[in-house]
Amino acid sequence: MTPLLVEVEVDGVMRRLSVDRQENGCVVLLDERTIPVDIYEPMPGVLSLVIGGRSYRCVRSAMMDEETIAVGARQYRVAVTDRRSLRGQRKRPGAGNGALQIKASMPGRVARVLVTQGDTVRAHQGVVVIEAMKMQNELKAPREGRVKELRVAAGDKVASGQVLAVIE
């Protein structure tokens, strides 16, 4: 069997692993250490790992385009990429200069739109206000730019993850 080579971004740090499937688990090569891992999957989205005698219950949660792994009280934001498609992918918001989508972080209703198309916005300037659970929440531009598109108007219902505006 060919070991799997992957790169994982964990809490913003990129890590390289090789994973080789074995009976009852796998052998991982991480940071030049060879780590045998005993694996049990009690239910979908939950993995019990025993590594060198230490036991970890790892729970996956996917929210919008983000994935976290919780181990006890600790939560890690992770993003797994295969090696070939690594470059140019999963760029973090605000990191580059391309067009950037502002998405609703929760379902709700558009209370106000604070900009108009063509406006220049500063980083962290409010763009759209969403109301949900009795609270108003201002979604901000992650970096400076120009409002290329405005896809919602006051009063619109929006779904979680829906694109509200595009900054370029």
Partner 1 sequence: MPSLRKILIANRGEIALRLLRACRELGISPVAVYSDADRGALHVQHADEAYRLGPAPSIDSYLRADRILEIARKCGADAIHPGYGFLSENAEFAEACTAAGITFIGPPASAMRELGSKTRARAAADRARMPRTPGSVRGLTSPEEALTLAKEIGYPVMLKAAAGGGGKGMRAIRSSEELPSALIAASDEAARAFGSGEVYLEKLIERPRHIEIQLLADQHGNVVYLGERECSVQRRHQKVIEEAPSPVVGAELRRRMGEAACRLAREAGYVNASTVEFLVDEAQNFYFLEVNTRLQVEHAVSELVTGVDLVHLQIAIAEGKPLPFTQEEIALRGHALEVRVYAEDPESGFLPSPGKITRLLRPGGPGIREDEGVYEGWDVPTEYDPMLSKLIAYAPDRATAIARLGCAIDEYVIGGIRTNLKLLRRILNDPDFQAARIDTSYLDRLLAKSAPENTEVTGDTAIADAATIAAVLFAAPAAASPTSQAQTPWQQDALQRGLHGGLRR
Per DSSP bridges, beta strands 46-51 and 4-10 are unpaired
Q: Which residue from 94, 114, 129, 137 is in contact with partner 1, where contact means CB under 8 A?
A: 137
Q: Which of these ranges, 61-69, 94-102, 121-129, 143-151, lies near partner 1 under the rule CB under 8 A?
A: 61-69
Between CA 22 and CA 3 the distance in angstroms is 10
Choose between 75 and 120: whose C-beta lies nearer to partner 1: 75
Nearest-5° angle of CA 65, CA 78, CA 94?
60
Query: x/- contact string, 14-53, with partner 1 (CB under 8 A)?
Result: -x-x-xxx-x--x-x-x----x-xxxxxxx-xxxxxxx-x
Choose between 8 and 166: whose C-beta lies nearer to partner 1: 8
- Asked if residue 126 lies in contact with residue 114, where contact means CB atoms within 8 angstroms, the answer is yes
Choose between 43 and 97: whose C-beta lies nearer to partner 1: 43
Between CA 164 and CA 168 the distance in angstroms is 14
Between CA 149 and CA 132 the distance in angstroms is 23
Tell whether residue 97 is a contact of partner 1 (CB under 8 A). Answer: no
Closest approach, Cβ 155 to partner 1, in A, equals 14
* Cα–Cα nearest to 159, from 123, 132, 124, 140: 132
Choose between 15 and 122: whose C-beta lies nearer to partner 1: 15
Tokens, residue 48: 């019990």
For the chain, the C-alpha Rg in angstroms (whole number) is 21
Choose between 74 and 116: whose C-beta lies nearer to partner 1: 74
Point out which residues bind partner 1 (CB under 8 A).
Answer: 1-4, 6, 8, 10-11, 15, 17, 19-21, 23, 26, 28, 30, 35, 37-43, 45-51, 53-63, 67, 69-76, 78-82, 84, 105-108, 132-135, 137, 160
